[in-house]
Amino acid sequence: MLAFVILLFLSPSAFGELTLYDTFEKELLNDTMDVPAENYSSKSFYINLAGKTQNRVSVDFKVIDEKYVDIYLFDEESYKSYIEGKSAGAIFSARAVKDYSKVFVPEKSGNYYLVIENRDPFKKKVAVKVLWRYGVSAPDLIPELISCYPSEAFWGEKVYVDFKVKNFSPVKAERHEVVVYLEDENGKLYELGKVQVDQLLSEESKTFSVAGVISNELSRGIYRVKIVADPSNQVEEHNETNNVIYGTKVFVKGASLTSATTSETNRTPGFEFMMALASFASLSLLLKRRS
């Protein structure tokens, strides 16, 4: 038996490939529901099946005061029929239970509704837990900031951002974009630069650099570096919520003293004298016409 266990860890491919992606878990609901007397109470949770396989949702109920309740699970359409008093087909139901557990396979993405009915003339409390287990069949792109320099810059100067993107999935990610922004305190974005990523294999990460010129469109102030992997959703991922990372801050100082001085010194020699002479000539001509 010991040899079998050792072989299992040393040679996982002999029993089918074992990876940390085989099962993910996500807690959708963990709450206590107050169910009014002779009435019902409901809780909802959302499931997005995009890029996921082997979906299983376990639902556990426990009536805290040891009384009996009726339990139903509806999808969005059938729940609407239920609250309108129409005939509604439940995904599952159980009558007169105190403790109840059920595993179901969701067939579509959307909201699901747990309904607990209390037929007695007194309030009840029911503990509810919903756990979603699934495998993945899509990539998962996660950016990570390495460095950003300098931390202060004038208009026309460059800011350099080094970062990497990892595909945390057993599935290859096809061609996509990664964009680096500067974000002001009001959430307005200014694109600093972007890169094209041809592909990322399973567990592969690649490092990139962006060098962006600070535009004079940016007001003087502090900006956050924001990196977004696949902002246009070219790649369908099993998790679309972890594509953004905020990094360090950059202080935009506006126009530099050197550039202002340069613009003054770049004037044609004798410029002020010529302008004064032209003004005097115009005034003399005007006085002659009047006389």
Q: Which residues contact 274 (CB under 8 A, 6 or more apart)?
A: 268
Helices (H), 94-147: none
Three-state DSSP state, 202: coil
Asked whether the predicted pLDDT for residue 4 surpasses 50, the reply is no
- Of residues 187 and 9, the one with the higher pLDDT is 187
Burial class (CB in 10 A: 0-12, 13-18, 19+), 220: exposed
Please compute, for residue 170, the number of CA atoms within 13 A of its CA located in the half-sphere on the CB side: 14
Q: Which residues contact 40 (CB under 8 A, 6 or more apart)?
A: 115, 116, 117, 118
- If you average pLDDT over residues 87-103, what whole number do you get? 94
Query: Model confidence over 214-257: pLDDT tens digits?
Result: 999 999 999 999 999 999 999 988 888 899 999 899 999 999 76
When the candidates are 3.40.50.720, 2.60.40.10, 3.30.460.10, 2.60.120.580, the CATH number that belongs to 141-252 is: 2.60.40.10
Query: Model confidence over 258-286: pLDDT tens digits?
Result: 655 444 445 555 545 555 555 555 556 55
Which pTM does this prediction carry?
0.56
The domain limits of the chain are 14-136, 141-252
Asked whether the predicted pLDDT for residue 105 surpasses 90, the reply is yes
Give the span between the Cα atoms of 113 and 40, in whole angstroms: 12
pLDDT confidence bin for 52, thresholds 50/70/90? confident
- Contact indicator for 8, 83 with CB cutoff of 8 Å: no
- Of residues 12 and 288, the one with the higher pLDDT is 288
CATH number for the domain formed by residue range(s) 14-136: 2.60.120.380
Query: Model confidence over 31-51: pLDDT tens digits?
Result: 999 999 999 999 999 999 988
